[in-house]
Amino acid sequence: MTTLPSATGKKLGLVIDLDICVGCHACAVSCKEWNTGGYSAPLSDIDAYGSDPHGTWLNRIHGFEAGDGTGGRTVHFPRSCLHCEEPDCVTVCPTGASYKRSEDGIVLVNPDTCIGCKLCSWACPYGAREYDQSHGVMKKCTLCVDRIYNDNLPEADRVPACVKACPTGARHFGDLGDPDSDVSKVVQEREGYDLLPELGYRPVNKYLPPRMREVDRSHAKPAGERPAQIDAVHAPTAVEKFFGWADRVLSD
Asked if the bond preceding 42 is cis, omega within 30° of 0, the reply is yes
Nearer to other proteins, 27 or 181 (CB): 27
Q: Which of residues 23-42 bind other proteins (CB under 8 A)?
A: 23-26, 28-30, 32-42
Nearer to other proteins, 40 or 181 (CB): 40
Q: Which of residues 174-233 bind other proteins (CB under 8 A)?
A: 193-200, 207, 209-213, 215-223, 225
Q: Does 93 bind other proteins (CB under 8 A)?
A: yes
Picking from 1, 35, 33, the residue whose alpha carbon sits closest to that of residue 148 is 35
Q: State the nearest-atom distance from the C-beta of 132 to other proteins, in Å.
A: 8
Q: Does 64 bind other proteins (CB under 8 A)?
A: yes
Among 14, 84, 97, 183, binds other proteins (CB under 8 A): 97
Asked if the bond preceding 179 is cis, omega within 30° of 0, the reply is no
Residue 39 burial (CB < 10 Å; 0-12/13-18/19+)? middle
Contact (Cβ atoms closer than 8 angstroms) between residue 125 and residue 201 = yes
Other Cβ atoms within 10 Å of 31 Cβ, number: 28
Nearer to other proteins, 179 or 213 (CB): 213
146's enclosing H/E stretch is helix 145-148
Q: State the nearest-atom distance from the C-beta of 233 to other proteins, in Å.
A: 21
Q: How far apart are CA 124 and CA 207, in angstroms?
A: 18
Q: Which of residues 140-169 bind other proteins (CB under 8 A)?
A: 145-146, 148-153, 156-157, 161, 164-169
Q: Does 238 bind other proteins (CB under 8 A)?
A: yes
